[in-house]
Structure 1
Amino acid sequence: MADLSESAGWVSGIYQIETTDPVVGGPPNLGAGQGIANVQAAQLASRTKYLKDQTAGFNQEAIDLSSGVDDLDVISASGIYLANATTTGRPSGAASIYVLHEEGTAGASQIATDADGDAFFRLRTGSSWSLWQQLVTMTDYASNSMTTAGFQILPSGLILQWGSSGMSSGSGEADATFPITFPNDVFKVIAQETTSTASGTSGVRMVGWVPDQTTTASCRFFVVNASGNPVSGENVSYLAIGH
Protein backbone atom coordinates (compact mmCIF):
# COMPACT_ATOMS: atom_id res chain seq x y z
CA MET A 1 0.00 0.00 0.00
CA ALA A 2 1.54 3.31 -1.08
CA ASP A 3 1.46 6.60 0.83
CA LEU A 4 0.43 9.91 -0.63
CA SER A 5 3.33 12.03 -1.86
CA GLU A 6 3.67 15.19 0.29
CA SER A 7 5.08 18.47 -1.02
CA ALA A 8 5.21 21.55 1.20
CA GLY A 9 3.02 24.37 -0.03
CA TRP A 10 0.06 26.42 1.08
CA VAL A 11 -2.78 25.27 -1.18
CA SER A 12 -5.33 27.99 -1.81
CA GLY A 13 -8.66 26.31 -1.23
CA ILE A 14 -9.50 22.65 -0.73
CA TYR A 15 -11.14 20.87 -3.68
CA GLN A 16 -14.78 19.86 -3.25
CA ILE A 17 -15.61 16.48 -4.72
CA GLU A 18 -18.56 16.98 -7.05
CA THR A 19 -21.41 14.53 -7.68
CA THR A 20 -20.19 14.22 -11.26
CA ASP A 21 -16.62 13.26 -10.25
CA PRO A 22 -15.62 9.64 -10.59
CA VAL A 23 -14.61 8.73 -7.04
CA VAL A 24 -11.50 6.72 -7.75
CA GLY A 25 -8.29 6.12 -5.86
CA GLY A 26 -4.68 6.25 -6.90
CA PRO A 27 -2.21 9.13 -7.21
CA PRO A 28 -4.18 12.42 -7.15
CA ASN A 29 -4.10 14.51 -10.30
CA LEU A 30 -6.97 16.96 -10.38
CA GLY A 31 -6.09 18.31 -13.83
CA ALA A 32 -6.18 14.85 -15.33
CA GLY A 33 -9.21 13.80 -13.32
CA GLN A 34 -7.27 11.00 -11.64
CA GLY A 35 -7.28 9.88 -8.02
CA ILE A 36 -10.08 12.32 -7.17
CA ALA A 37 -10.76 10.61 -3.82
CA ASN A 38 -7.20 11.48 -2.71
CA VAL A 39 -7.04 15.10 -3.92
CA GLN A 40 -8.33 16.63 -0.67
CA ALA A 41 -6.03 14.52 1.47
CA ALA A 42 -3.04 15.51 -0.66
CA GLN A 43 -3.92 19.20 -0.43
CA LEU A 44 -4.30 19.04 3.34
CA ALA A 45 -1.06 17.06 3.62
CA SER A 46 0.74 19.80 1.65
CA ARG A 47 -0.59 22.44 4.05
CA THR A 48 0.48 20.37 7.06
CA LYS A 49 4.01 19.88 5.71
CA TYR A 50 4.23 23.58 4.89
CA LEU A 51 3.34 24.52 8.50
CA LYS A 52 5.72 21.91 9.89
CA ASP A 53 8.58 23.28 7.81
CA GLN A 54 7.80 26.82 9.01
CA THR A 55 8.14 25.78 12.66
CA ALA A 56 11.12 23.46 12.16
CA GLY A 57 13.55 26.29 12.91
CA PHE A 58 12.11 26.95 16.35
CA ASN A 59 14.46 26.01 19.18
CA GLN A 60 12.71 23.19 20.99
CA GLU A 61 14.88 23.66 24.06
CA ALA A 62 13.79 27.28 24.24
CA ILE A 63 10.11 26.35 23.94
CA ASP A 64 10.34 23.77 26.74
CA LEU A 65 10.78 25.88 29.89
CA SER A 66 10.09 23.12 32.38
CA SER A 67 13.61 22.06 33.41
CA GLY A 68 15.89 24.95 32.47
CA VAL A 69 19.29 25.07 30.76
CA ASP A 70 22.68 24.20 32.23
CA ASP A 71 24.78 27.05 30.84
CA LEU A 72 23.62 30.45 29.53
CA ASP A 73 27.12 31.18 28.20
CA VAL A 74 26.96 28.54 25.46
CA ILE A 75 23.46 29.15 24.05
CA SER A 76 23.62 29.57 20.28
CA ALA A 77 19.95 29.69 19.23
CA SER A 78 17.54 32.57 19.75
CA GLY A 79 14.71 31.83 22.15
CA ILE A 80 13.45 32.05 25.71
CA TYR A 81 15.22 29.94 28.32
CA LEU A 82 14.70 29.14 31.98
CA ALA A 83 17.81 29.49 34.14
CA ASN A 84 17.50 27.93 37.58
CA ALA A 85 19.71 28.22 40.66
CA THR A 86 22.37 25.88 39.21
CA THR A 87 22.60 27.40 35.72
CA THR A 88 26.02 28.75 34.78
CA GLY A 89 26.13 32.34 33.56
CA ARG A 90 22.98 33.59 35.29
CA PRO A 91 22.96 37.08 36.89
CA SER A 92 24.52 37.11 40.35
CA GLY A 93 21.94 36.65 43.08
CA ALA A 94 19.19 35.58 40.70
CA ALA A 95 17.71 32.13 41.32
CA SER A 96 14.99 31.16 38.86
CA ILE A 97 15.03 33.59 35.96
CA TYR A 98 13.80 33.73 32.34
CA VAL A 99 16.29 34.75 29.66
CA LEU A 100 15.54 36.08 26.19
CA HIS A 101 18.51 35.17 23.98
CA GLU A 102 18.97 36.87 20.59
CA GLU A 103 21.69 35.38 18.39
CA GLY A 104 23.31 37.64 15.80
CA THR A 105 25.98 37.29 13.13
CA ALA A 106 28.75 38.92 15.19
CA GLY A 107 27.51 38.30 18.71
CA ALA A 108 24.44 37.95 20.87
CA SER A 109 22.43 39.64 23.60
CA GLN A 110 20.53 38.38 26.62
CA ILE A 111 17.82 40.04 28.70
CA ALA A 112 16.89 38.32 31.96
CA THR A 113 13.89 38.96 34.21
CA ASP A 114 12.88 37.34 37.47
CA ALA A 115 9.65 36.99 39.41
CA ASP A 116 10.42 40.13 41.44
CA GLY A 117 10.48 42.28 38.30
CA ASP A 118 14.27 42.78 38.28
CA ALA A 119 15.75 43.02 34.78
CA PHE A 120 19.33 42.41 33.61
CA PHE A 121 21.16 42.78 30.29
CA ARG A 122 24.47 41.63 28.75
CA LEU A 123 26.18 41.38 25.34
CA ARG A 124 28.43 38.78 23.73
CA THR A 125 31.11 39.90 21.30
CA GLY A 126 32.71 36.94 19.61
CA SER A 127 32.83 34.35 22.38
CA SER A 128 33.14 36.75 25.34
CA TRP A 129 30.17 37.85 27.41
CA SER A 130 30.09 41.23 29.15
CA LEU A 131 29.13 41.46 32.81
CA TRP A 132 25.43 41.48 33.60
CA GLN A 133 24.07 45.01 34.07
CA GLN A 134 20.94 45.51 36.12
CA LEU A 135 18.46 47.59 34.13
CA VAL A 136 15.81 48.10 36.78
CA THR A 137 14.73 46.88 40.17
CA MET A 138 10.96 47.09 40.27
CA THR A 139 10.95 47.09 44.06
CA ASP A 140 13.02 50.27 43.98
CA TYR A 141 11.20 51.78 41.03
CA ALA A 142 7.85 51.37 42.73
CA SER A 143 9.29 52.69 45.99
CA ASN A 144 8.49 56.31 46.63
CA SER A 145 7.01 58.60 49.22
CA MET A 146 5.01 61.52 47.87
CA THR A 147 4.97 63.55 51.07
CA THR A 148 6.55 66.81 52.21
CA ALA A 149 9.63 64.77 53.16
CA GLY A 150 9.80 62.12 50.46
CA PHE A 151 11.76 60.41 47.72
CA GLN A 152 11.54 58.81 44.28
CA ILE A 153 13.82 56.09 42.92
CA LEU A 154 14.13 56.15 39.13
CA PRO A 155 14.76 53.10 36.89
CA SER A 156 18.37 54.20 36.32
CA GLY A 157 19.03 54.04 40.07
CA LEU A 158 19.05 57.83 40.44
CA ILE A 159 17.30 58.90 43.65
CA LEU A 160 15.61 62.23 44.34
CA GLN A 161 14.88 63.20 47.95
CA TRP A 162 13.38 66.33 49.42
CA GLY A 163 12.50 67.67 52.85
CA SER A 164 13.50 70.30 55.39
CA SER A 165 15.92 70.76 58.27
CA GLY A 166 15.44 71.74 61.84
CA MET A 167 16.04 75.35 62.89
CA SER A 168 19.59 76.62 62.39
CA SER A 169 21.71 76.97 65.52
CA GLY A 170 23.66 79.98 66.77
CA SER A 171 26.49 78.96 64.46
CA GLY A 172 24.10 79.15 61.53
CA GLU A 173 24.25 75.40 60.96
CA ALA A 174 21.22 73.20 60.34
CA ASP A 175 21.10 69.43 59.83
CA ALA A 176 18.61 67.32 57.90
CA THR A 177 18.14 63.55 57.84
CA PHE A 178 17.16 62.14 54.46
CA PRO A 179 13.88 60.20 54.26
CA ILE A 180 15.92 57.14 53.17
CA THR A 181 19.65 56.46 53.12
CA PHE A 182 21.32 56.76 49.71
CA PRO A 183 22.82 53.32 48.92
CA ASN A 184 26.00 54.75 47.34
CA ASP A 185 26.58 58.50 47.23
CA VAL A 186 25.09 61.99 47.32
CA PHE A 187 25.73 63.99 44.13
CA LYS A 188 24.20 67.34 44.95
CA VAL A 189 22.00 69.13 47.48
CA ILE A 190 20.12 72.31 46.58
CA ALA A 191 18.65 74.32 49.45
CA GLN A 192 16.83 77.51 50.35
CA GLU A 193 15.80 79.21 53.55
CA THR A 194 12.04 79.12 54.16
CA THR A 195 11.25 80.77 57.49
CA SER A 196 12.72 84.29 57.49
CA THR A 197 10.16 87.09 57.99
CA ALA A 198 12.62 89.98 58.21
CA SER A 199 12.39 92.65 55.50
CA GLY A 200 14.93 94.71 53.60
CA THR A 201 18.62 93.97 53.21
CA SER A 202 18.88 92.81 56.81
CA GLY A 203 16.33 90.09 56.07
CA VAL A 204 18.31 88.50 53.23
CA ARG A 205 19.33 84.96 54.08
CA MET A 206 21.82 82.85 52.15
CA VAL A 207 22.00 79.10 52.49
CA GLY A 208 24.99 76.92 51.71
CA TRP A 209 25.36 73.16 51.58
CA VAL A 210 28.31 71.66 53.49
CA PRO A 211 29.49 68.63 51.41
CA ASP A 212 32.15 67.46 53.89
CA GLN A 213 29.49 67.26 56.59
CA THR A 214 27.13 65.26 54.40
CA THR A 215 26.72 61.50 54.54
CA THR A 216 24.45 59.11 52.67
CA ALA A 217 22.00 59.47 55.58
CA SER A 218 22.04 63.21 56.32
CA CYS A 219 23.35 66.61 55.27
CA ARG A 220 24.31 69.93 56.79
CA PHE A 221 23.62 73.53 55.78
CA PHE A 222 24.75 76.94 57.01
CA VAL A 223 22.58 80.06 57.03
CA VAL A 224 24.06 83.57 56.99
CA ASN A 225 22.65 87.07 56.53
CA ALA A 226 23.68 89.64 53.93
CA SER A 227 26.69 90.57 56.05
CA GLY A 228 27.88 86.96 56.21
CA ASN A 229 27.01 86.50 59.87
CA PRO A 230 25.48 83.19 61.06
CA VAL A 231 21.72 83.24 61.52
CA SER A 232 19.85 81.03 63.97
CA GLY A 233 16.22 79.99 64.03
CA GLU A 234 15.92 79.45 60.28
CA ASN A 235 14.43 76.41 58.54
CA VAL A 236 15.95 75.07 55.30
CA SER A 237 14.16 73.16 52.54
CA TYR A 238 16.26 71.01 50.22
CA LEU A 239 16.37 68.76 47.17
CA ALA A 240 19.05 66.02 47.25
CA ILE A 241 20.20 63.98 44.26
CA GLY A 242 22.17 60.75 44.58
CA HIS A 243 22.16 57.02 43.92
Structure 2
Amino acid sequence: MSQNIYDDPDFFAGYATLPRSVHGLDGAPEWPALRALLPDLLDKHILDLGCGYGWFCRYAQQQGARDVLGLDVSEKMLEKAAKMTQGAGIRYQRADLEKLQLSETFDLAYSSLALHYLINIDALFATLFNALAPDGMLVFSCEHPIYTAPTQQQWILDDKQQRSWPVNHYQQEGERISNWFADGVKKQHRKLATWVNALIGAGFEIVHLDEWGPSDEQLQQNPALAEERDRPMMFLLAARKPR
Protein backbone atom coordinates (compact mmCIF):
# COMPACT_ATOMS: atom_id res chain seq x y z
CA MET A 1 0.00 0.00 0.00
CA SER A 2 1.27 3.48 -0.83
CA GLN A 3 2.08 5.77 2.07
CA ASN A 4 -1.16 7.60 2.83
CA ILE A 5 0.37 10.77 4.26
CA TYR A 6 -2.63 12.89 3.24
CA ASP A 7 -4.77 11.21 5.91
CA ASP A 8 -2.28 12.28 8.58
CA PRO A 9 -4.18 15.03 10.50
CA ASP A 10 -1.16 17.39 10.68
CA PHE A 11 -0.34 16.93 7.01
CA PHE A 12 -3.95 17.35 5.92
CA ALA A 13 -4.32 20.53 7.98
CA GLY A 14 -1.09 21.96 6.56
CA TYR A 15 -1.96 21.06 3.00
CA ALA A 16 -5.31 22.85 3.40
CA THR A 17 -3.44 26.16 3.83
CA LEU A 18 -1.67 26.02 0.45
CA PRO A 19 -2.86 28.45 -2.25
CA ARG A 20 -3.64 25.50 -4.54
CA SER A 21 -5.88 24.09 -1.80
CA VAL A 22 -7.61 27.38 -1.08
CA HIS A 23 -7.95 28.68 -4.64
CA GLY A 24 -7.87 25.46 -6.65
CA LEU A 25 -6.30 25.43 -10.10
CA ASP A 26 -5.97 29.21 -10.09
CA GLY A 27 -3.79 28.89 -6.98
CA ALA A 28 -1.31 26.65 -8.82
CA PRO A 29 1.16 28.82 -10.76
CA GLU A 30 1.95 26.02 -13.20
CA TRP A 31 -1.71 25.54 -14.14
CA PRO A 32 -1.72 27.78 -17.27
CA ALA A 33 1.21 25.83 -18.71
CA LEU A 34 -0.33 22.49 -17.74
CA ARG A 35 -3.72 23.49 -19.18
CA ALA A 36 -2.03 24.31 -22.49
CA LEU A 37 -0.96 20.65 -22.78
CA LEU A 38 -4.51 19.31 -22.46
CA PRO A 39 -6.58 18.10 -25.39
CA ASP A 40 -10.16 19.25 -25.92
CA LEU A 41 -12.17 17.76 -23.05
CA LEU A 42 -15.63 18.04 -24.63
CA ASP A 43 -17.46 14.69 -24.50
CA LYS A 44 -14.31 12.91 -23.31
CA HIS A 45 -13.78 10.19 -20.70
CA ILE A 46 -11.34 11.58 -18.12
CA LEU A 47 -9.23 9.93 -15.39
CA ASP A 48 -7.64 12.01 -12.61
CA LEU A 49 -4.89 10.20 -10.68
CA GLY A 50 -4.43 11.58 -7.19
CA CYS A 51 -7.44 13.86 -7.53
CA GLY A 52 -7.17 15.47 -4.09
CA TYR A 53 -9.98 17.98 -3.57
CA GLY A 54 -11.27 17.25 -7.08
CA TRP A 55 -10.40 20.62 -8.60
CA PHE A 56 -9.41 19.18 -11.98
CA CYS A 57 -12.39 16.80 -12.00
CA ARG A 58 -14.72 19.78 -11.68
CA TYR A 59 -12.77 21.72 -14.31
CA ALA A 60 -13.19 18.82 -16.75
CA GLN A 61 -16.90 18.71 -15.90
CA GLN A 62 -17.17 22.43 -16.71
CA GLN A 63 -15.38 21.84 -20.03
CA GLY A 64 -18.06 19.37 -21.07
CA ALA A 65 -16.37 16.05 -20.32
CA ARG A 66 -18.73 13.10 -20.68
CA ASP A 67 -17.58 11.53 -17.41
CA VAL A 68 -14.74 11.95 -14.94
CA LEU A 69 -13.24 9.40 -12.55
CA GLY A 70 -11.16 10.82 -9.70
CA LEU A 71 -8.91 8.41 -7.81
CA ASP A 72 -7.06 9.03 -4.54
CA VAL A 73 -5.65 6.91 -1.73
CA SER A 74 -6.71 9.47 0.88
CA GLU A 75 -10.15 9.13 2.43
CA LYS A 76 -9.92 12.69 3.76
CA MET A 77 -9.22 14.03 0.27
CA LEU A 78 -12.08 12.09 -1.28
CA GLU A 79 -14.48 13.23 1.45
CA LYS A 80 -13.49 16.84 0.81
CA ALA A 81 -13.84 16.39 -2.97
CA ALA A 82 -17.32 14.92 -2.64
CA LYS A 83 -18.47 17.81 -0.45
CA MET A 84 -17.18 20.36 -2.98
CA THR A 85 -18.71 18.66 -6.03
CA GLN A 86 -22.17 19.20 -7.46
CA GLY A 87 -23.89 17.89 -10.56
CA ALA A 88 -23.53 14.67 -12.48
CA GLY A 89 -20.66 13.09 -14.33
CA ILE A 90 -17.98 12.88 -11.62
CA ARG A 91 -17.18 9.76 -9.63
CA TYR A 92 -14.65 9.56 -6.81
CA GLN A 93 -13.05 6.28 -5.78
CA ARG A 94 -10.36 5.26 -3.33
CA ALA A 95 -7.46 3.58 -5.11
CA ASP A 96 -3.80 2.79 -4.51
CA LEU A 97 -2.02 3.90 -7.68
CA GLU A 98 0.78 1.39 -6.97
CA LYS A 99 -1.71 -1.42 -7.63
CA LEU A 100 -4.06 0.28 -10.06
CA GLN A 101 -6.25 -1.83 -12.33
CA LEU A 102 -8.64 -0.24 -14.80
CA SER A 103 -11.53 -1.84 -16.64
CA GLU A 104 -12.67 1.31 -18.47
CA THR A 105 -11.32 3.21 -21.45
CA PHE A 106 -10.30 6.86 -21.15
CA ASP A 107 -9.39 9.66 -23.55
CA LEU A 108 -7.22 11.50 -21.03
CA ALA A 109 -5.33 10.45 -17.92
CA TYR A 110 -4.29 13.45 -15.85
CA SER A 111 -2.25 13.80 -12.67
CA SER A 112 -0.98 16.78 -10.70
CA LEU A 113 2.00 16.35 -8.36
CA ALA A 114 1.14 12.80 -7.32
CA LEU A 115 3.25 10.32 -9.27
CA HIS A 116 6.53 11.10 -7.48
CA TYR A 117 5.10 9.25 -4.46
CA LEU A 118 5.01 5.97 -6.40
CA ILE A 119 7.68 3.27 -6.36
CA ASN A 120 6.58 1.25 -9.40
CA ILE A 121 5.98 3.80 -12.12
CA ASP A 122 6.51 1.27 -14.94
CA ALA A 123 3.46 -0.76 -13.91
CA LEU A 124 1.29 2.37 -13.71
CA PHE A 125 2.35 3.61 -17.15
CA ALA A 126 1.62 0.18 -18.65
CA THR A 127 -1.82 0.16 -17.02
CA LEU A 128 -2.58 3.67 -18.29
CA PHE A 129 -1.39 2.87 -21.80
CA ASN A 130 -3.73 -0.12 -21.96
CA ALA A 131 -6.65 1.91 -20.58
CA LEU A 132 -6.30 4.81 -23.01
CA ALA A 133 -8.13 4.93 -26.31
CA PRO A 134 -5.98 5.25 -29.45
CA ASP A 135 -4.72 8.85 -29.63
CA GLY A 136 -5.50 9.17 -25.89
CA MET A 137 -3.32 11.48 -23.82
CA LEU A 138 -1.44 11.28 -20.54
CA VAL A 139 -0.73 14.71 -19.07
CA PHE A 140 0.91 15.05 -15.67
CA SER A 141 3.12 17.15 -13.42
CA CYS A 142 5.72 15.83 -10.98
CA GLU A 143 8.41 17.14 -8.71
CA HIS A 144 11.52 17.68 -10.86
CA PRO A 145 14.49 15.35 -10.27
CA ILE A 146 16.68 18.38 -9.59
CA TYR A 147 14.31 19.19 -6.74
CA THR A 148 14.10 15.64 -5.40
CA ALA A 149 17.78 14.71 -5.84
CA PRO A 150 19.33 15.93 -2.57
CA THR A 151 18.74 13.96 0.59
CA GLN A 152 17.82 17.26 2.27
CA GLN A 153 15.69 19.35 -0.04
CA GLN A 154 16.65 22.87 0.94
CA TRP A 155 18.71 25.81 -0.23
CA ILE A 156 22.35 26.15 0.76
CA LEU A 157 23.70 29.60 1.72
CA ASP A 158 27.38 30.40 1.21
CA ASP A 159 29.37 32.94 3.23
CA LYS A 160 28.08 35.72 0.95
CA GLN A 161 24.47 34.64 1.48
CA GLN A 162 24.22 33.42 -2.10
CA ARG A 163 21.75 30.56 -2.44
CA SER A 164 22.29 27.36 -4.37
CA TRP A 165 20.31 24.16 -4.72
CA PRO A 166 22.29 20.93 -4.25
CA VAL A 167 21.95 18.20 -6.86
CA ASN A 168 24.15 15.68 -5.12
CA HIS A 169 22.90 12.09 -5.28
CA TYR A 170 21.15 12.86 -8.58
CA GLN A 171 22.20 9.49 -10.05
CA GLN A 172 21.13 7.58 -6.93
CA GLU A 173 17.46 6.91 -7.51
CA GLY A 174 15.08 5.78 -4.79
CA GLU A 175 13.36 6.96 -1.65
CA ARG A 176 13.70 10.48 -0.30
CA ILE A 177 12.29 11.55 3.05
CA SER A 178 11.04 15.11 3.51
CA ASN A 179 9.47 16.84 6.50
CA TRP A 180 6.69 18.81 4.83
CA PHE A 181 3.70 19.50 7.12
CA ALA A 182 4.49 16.14 8.74
CA ASP A 183 7.67 14.19 9.42
CA GLY A 184 8.64 11.24 7.25
CA VAL A 185 6.92 12.07 3.97
CA LYS A 186 8.18 9.47 1.49
CA LYS A 187 8.82 10.44 -2.13
CA GLN A 188 10.66 8.70 -4.95
CA HIS A 189 13.56 10.31 -6.77
CA ARG A 190 14.18 9.20 -10.34
CA LYS A 191 16.19 10.83 -13.10
CA LEU A 192 14.39 12.72 -15.83
CA ALA A 193 15.69 10.12 -18.29
CA THR A 194 14.04 7.39 -16.20
CA TRP A 195 10.67 9.14 -16.38
CA VAL A 196 10.91 9.60 -20.14
CA ASN A 197 12.22 6.11 -20.86
CA ALA A 198 9.49 4.55 -18.70
CA LEU A 199 6.88 6.27 -20.88
CA ILE A 200 8.61 5.19 -24.09
CA GLY A 201 8.91 1.66 -22.73
CA ALA A 202 5.16 1.57 -22.09
CA GLY A 203 4.51 2.57 -25.72
CA PHE A 204 3.84 6.29 -25.36
CA GLU A 205 4.99 9.03 -27.70
CA ILE A 206 6.39 12.07 -25.90
CA VAL A 207 4.49 15.17 -27.03
CA HIS A 208 5.90 17.88 -24.78
CA LEU A 209 8.19 18.27 -21.76
CA ASP A 210 8.27 21.50 -19.75
CA GLU A 211 10.76 22.06 -16.92
CA TRP A 212 8.41 24.65 -15.53
CA GLY A 213 9.34 28.09 -14.25
CA PRO A 214 7.26 31.23 -13.69
CA SER A 215 6.66 33.81 -16.41
CA ASP A 216 7.66 37.48 -16.10
CA GLU A 217 4.02 38.36 -15.53
CA GLN A 218 3.70 35.81 -12.74
CA LEU A 219 6.83 37.18 -11.07
CA GLN A 220 5.38 40.69 -11.13
CA GLN A 221 2.23 39.43 -9.45
CA ASN A 222 4.04 37.16 -7.00
CA PRO A 223 7.75 37.99 -6.43
CA ALA A 224 8.05 34.98 -4.09
CA LEU A 225 8.06 32.77 -7.19
CA ALA A 226 11.53 34.07 -8.13
CA GLU A 227 13.28 31.09 -6.54
CA GLU A 228 11.49 28.80 -9.01
CA ARG A 229 13.71 30.32 -11.71
CA ASP A 230 16.86 29.25 -9.87
CA ARG A 231 15.95 25.57 -10.11
CA PRO A 232 12.92 23.73 -11.49
CA MET A 233 10.66 22.40 -8.75
CA MET A 234 8.47 20.45 -11.15
CA PHE A 235 8.16 19.23 -14.70
CA LEU A 236 5.07 18.94 -16.88
CA LEU A 237 4.79 16.21 -19.48
CA ALA A 238 2.32 15.30 -22.20
CA ALA A 239 2.41 11.89 -23.91
CA ARG A 240 0.14 10.19 -26.42
CA LYS A 241 -0.91 6.63 -27.16
CA PRO A 242 -0.36 6.16 -30.91
CA ARG A 243 -3.30 5.35 -33.12
Q: Report the TM range for the smaller structure's normalisation.
A: under 0.3
Determine which structure has more spread, i.e. the larger CA radius of gyration. Answer: 1
TM-score, normalised with respect to structure 1: 0.21
Which protein is richer in strand relative to its size?
Answer: 1
TM-score, normalised with respect to structure 2: 0.21
Which protein is richer in helix relative to its size?
Answer: 2
